[in-house]
Amino acid sequence: MSTLTIFNSARDAATTAPDASAGRPIPAVLGADLEVPVKGGRLVGYANLDYAASAPCLEPVSAAVAAALPAYSSVHRGAGYASQLTTARYEQARHTVRAFVGARPDDAVIFTRNTTDATNLLAGCLPEGTTTVVFDTEHHASLLPWPEAVRLAPPAFPGEAVRAADEALAGIDGPKLLVVTAASNVTGELWPIAALAHIAHRHGARILVDAAQLVPHRKLNLTALDLDYVAFSGHKLYAPFGAGVLVGRRDWLAEGEPYLKGGGAVRAVGDDVEWHDDPEPRHEAGTPNVLGAIALAAACDALTATGWTELVREEERLIARLRAGLASITGVRELSLWGDDHPRVGIVSFTVAGYSAREVAEALSGEYGIGVRDGKFCAHPFVRHLLGTADGGCEDGTASAVRASIGIGTTQEHVDRLVEAVRDLVARL
Ligand SMILES: Cc1ncc(COP(=O)(O)O)c(C=O)c1O
């Protein structure tokens, strides 16, 4: 199957179909006017280019939390009006998230702390003897939680990913789960999730898509893509209030060990314990993060109201400018698994010959007021693979890279400042 076939499939196209409710202006983020000190004590406007780690808060998200606070109360078990109102807001947040990812009506929507919490929750609910197939390109959140895992080498091209998954799944008996990221947190590259879902189902396997880096940048439609589970984090989706989510098929979740054991997860407790078999209460014991869920839903609403066409157009313009600028500097190498032209979200990782990644990141912050990430981005096997052994060595010999990532609130000036700062650093060598 060619790359083109994979990315032009009807089901992938369905994920980017225009949304009728779209068309509002792109919302603002809090902190757009933040000033930070640089060398010499000057203050400069902060160029936040670290969205892939945590995105700033959208104004409508902050407003939704502020609006919910006066009536904030316990959920599910309170008789008071404020409790009923807060419960309704919390459950409405579930519906909003369900609609945002295009989930099936009977899918479970479980609020978690973040993506890592969501993958670990699912890992604890796998039927006995499940084998998980996972690529070495994954973030640790999707690479590590599985009790029994087959790890596949980074594929040389998208069709190779499908072929390798096909071969691995064919060799496994019993329950199986394929885990794959939709957009890499290292390179931003999009993975052929529709084709991988198709292959998984042909082998009777299920698929979990780590959508942590996709949902802030692209529309996702779980039903159209025929995915079994998706996981993502609020703090990467402009809703930094400590909630994430796992969405997907109810049966494994209804039978799996309750994630936390305590109040809310039980129907009745006597000498025996009768656990809820609805996945939501079963795995949300204790007082949930109500404001986090409300924030997450407000972010979903705000992105949907803006519409993906406009968001994607602006992001693609800026990331193309950033990549072209970096490519024009001698000694800068962008990390990529599938080549320059492969579709990607607003993330670019790179090395600068003559500098460690830490030196670059520190200089960008201390001298230019630019925030980026350096390191291996919790994807150690993948970054090692991309760097080989020769590039990006820190003093301690650990290979690492610099990552710049963009989103709502990123300006052309931020992008140009980064390119010129790296050009300055190279000129000093
Ligand atoms: C692709 C991907 N998956 C999972 C995670 C983990 O997210 P969290 O730290 O919110 O659990 C990240 C975070 O960087 C990520 O980029």
Q: Which helix (H) or strand (E) holds 173?
A: none
Atom nearest to 378 CA in ligand 1: 14
Token pair for 119:
């993958």
Q: Is 35 helix (H, G, I), strand (E, B) or coil?
A: strand
CA pair distance 356, 2, nearest whole angstrom: 37
- Intra-chain end-to-end CA distance of the chain, in Å: 45
Measured distance CA(350)–CA(405) in Å, rounded: 11
| Cα 298 to ligand 1 centroid, rounded to whole Å | 20
| DSSP code at position 177 | E
Q: Quick one: DSSP state of residue 265?
A: S
Residue with tokens 């670019």: 348
Give the mutation target among 119, 236, 246, 380 for probing the ligand 1 site: most ligand atoms within 8 A of CB.
236
CA of 13 to the centre of ligand 1 (A): 25
Q: Considering only CA atoms, which residue is closest to atom 16 of ligand 1? A: 185
Q: Which residues pair with 373 in a beta bridge?
A: 403
**Which residues have a Cβ under 8 Å from the Cβ of 300 and sit 6 or more positions away?**
96, 97, 99, 100, 237
- Distances from the Cα of 289 to the Cα of 36, 54, 74, angstroms: 31, 18, 10
Which pTM does this prediction carry? 0.94
Q: Considering only CA atoms, which of 383, 380, 360, 384 is closest in space to residue 372?
A: 360
Q: What pLDDT, on a 0 to 100 scale, did the predictor assign at position 270? A: 96
How many angstroms separate the CA atoms of 44 and 273, rounded? 59
Q: Are 326 and 419 in contact (CB under 8 A)?
A: yes
Q: Are 421 and 352 in contact (CB under 8 A)?
A: no
- The label of the residue with tokens 């069709």 reads 159
Residue in 246, 174, 248, 165 with CA at minimum distance from that of residue 212: 246
Could you tell me what percent of the chain has a pLDDT over 70? 93
119 lines ligand 1 (CB under 6 A): no
Q: What digits encode the pLDDT tens for the residues 380-425?
A: 999 999 998 544 444 444 589 999 999 999 999 999 999 999 999 9
Whether 120 lines ligand 1, by a CB cut-off of 6 Å, is no
Would you state the pLDDT for residue 21? 56
Half-sphere exposure of 61 (CA within 13 A, CB side): 28
Q: Roughly what angle, to the nearest 10 degrees, separates helices 357-368 and 412-427? A: 120
233 pocket-lining for ligand 1 (C-beta < 6 Å): yes
| Chain length of the chain | 429
For residue 23, what pLDDT is reported? 78
pLDDT at residue number 15: 46
Give the pLDDT score at 162: 98
pLDDT at 4: 34
Q: Which of 197, 299, 210, 205 is nearest to 247 (CA)?
A: 210
Q: pLDDT by residue for the chain (429 residues), tens digit each? A: 333 333 434 344 334 444 555 678 999 999 999 999 999 999 999 999 999 999 999 999 999 999 999 999 999 988 999 999 999 999 999 999 999 999 999 999 999 999 999 999 999 999 999 999 999 999 999 999 999 999 999 999 999 999 999 999 999 999 999 999 999 999 999 999 999 999 999 999 999 999 999 999 999 999 999 999 999 999 999 999 999 999 999 999 999 999 999 999 999 999 999 999 999 999 999 999 999 999 999 999 999 999 999 999 999 999 999 999 999 999 999 999 999 999 999 999 999 999 999 999 999 999 999 999 999 999 999 999 999 854 444 444 458 999 999 999 999 999 999 999 999 999 999
Expressed in angstroms and rounded, the spacing between residue 312 Cα and the centre of ligand 1 is 21
CA 25 from chain centre, in angstroms, equals 24
How much is the pLDDT for 22?
Answer: 67
Q: Which of 294, 165, 179, 188 is nearest to 241 (CA)?
A: 294
d(Cα 4, Cα 424) in Å, to the nearest integer?
39
Distance from Cα 329 to the centre of ligand 1, integer Å: 30
CA angle 186/363/418 to nearest 5° reads 60
d(CA 89, CA 292) in angstroms, rounded, equals: 11
The closest-lying atom of ligand 1 relative to the alpha carbon of residue 181 is: 1
Q: Which of 378, 380, 382, 383 to mutate to test the pocket of ligand 1 (most atoms within 8 A of CB)?
A: 378
